[in-house]
Structure 1
């Protein structure tokens, strides 16, 4: 785009905003032959501000002889609307010139190739759902499936797909799903039948299971009872021994060792018996299950 536009003898310094030419308000005022261009254009805009959209006018910071300043600028459509409200002799010619520039820019844009429209996340949703279905049917992961799709479509990721590419990708994935569904179903071979367990062995398994469970119950109950009795005795012994220790640090440490020995060894023994009882219980249940096999 040219960096300047000329109306009659007035040259505009074009400001490129979003790929479109915008003009400074004071230069517009000069072109429309206002004696005080800044104030006249500002007044004209304030009187009709409700008719200007964000695509017609904006405030930007621009370099000026006095340093960077906030400056109001207008797009060509905004310039045309200003000229519609202006009552200067040159306003009509300025409106015609703006329309000519707009028409010229429109023809130039029409000659430029249109960039492909990338698909949105919502556009890609049917493809994503179809890939999930494909993954559930085929022996491959989600990431591997999309790598195959991207390679087939000639893109590095789904974000590069256009709406048309998404539709082709959907057809490509659907063809893979159709091929899987059309393939003959191969049933797995039946597992060999387990040999029957003799009745006498079955009876001995059940008897052993009952013996294990009874022993486990009796042992755990007896161990807990002994642990409780031992804890009471430990407290009694400790109460007798505690006054014998002095208050010095070595005596304090010796007292703590005695206390730990009295209170922890028994509980550790009970815990070990309970772990062993759990293993015995699991073995008994396994034998019980084996005894139920027909």
Structure 2
């Protein structure tokens, strides 16, 4: 294991051997996740430190600079950091980490048990109860899409709190939109319908054409562009799904174009 070479895209890691495990430094992790600042991951950790255990991150002595510690993350810790990261490359990095855990390091990523998923299951139950127009199948599809899994048990145990937070965000978003009087529901507004129509189309172009071109050019904006696009698409897709659940199958203000979403992320 000491001879294991790890690299992600153009970032070559210098793994730290600690407690018979492979750990990566916060600064290298920041670079791999597309941050410009080397302390970006440390800031991500500081904002979410209660979600990490000692098996995920530790502060060790810096061999090059006495009296200055180095924050390191185990591979599972790296995966959790990438869950919190908002960069465009974070999704690909999460896949890479899981692949390393499963294949190269020989630490299979076990599926979670029903009891371990109970907080997330409760959150999904609350989401369905609060929104009324959203069934369980659609609710779980939203979670699967956000975490790029086919089934809820594939979300790592360490990421369950992140998934719960995401579902509670959906509860607030859906509740604010579905509890309004009929005349005030946003998907009935012409300007909102334009966004619901164009954002998925624009997201598809950015994902398939613009983002690859920016990546080839090694543009520093590539991560930011794809991250913003993904966020905008999530909200547009949600509006389209809510409208569909409320019985609207076509954009009433746009000449009857059918509702559509883009799920290519």
Same fold by TM-score greater than 0.5: no
Tell me which interval the TM-score lies in, with the shorter structure as reference length.
Answer: 0.3 to 0.5
Higher normalized helix content (fraction of residues) = 1
The normalised TM-score by structure 2 is 0.38
The normalised TM-score by structure 1 is 0.34
Higher relative contact order (CA 8 A, sep 6+): 2
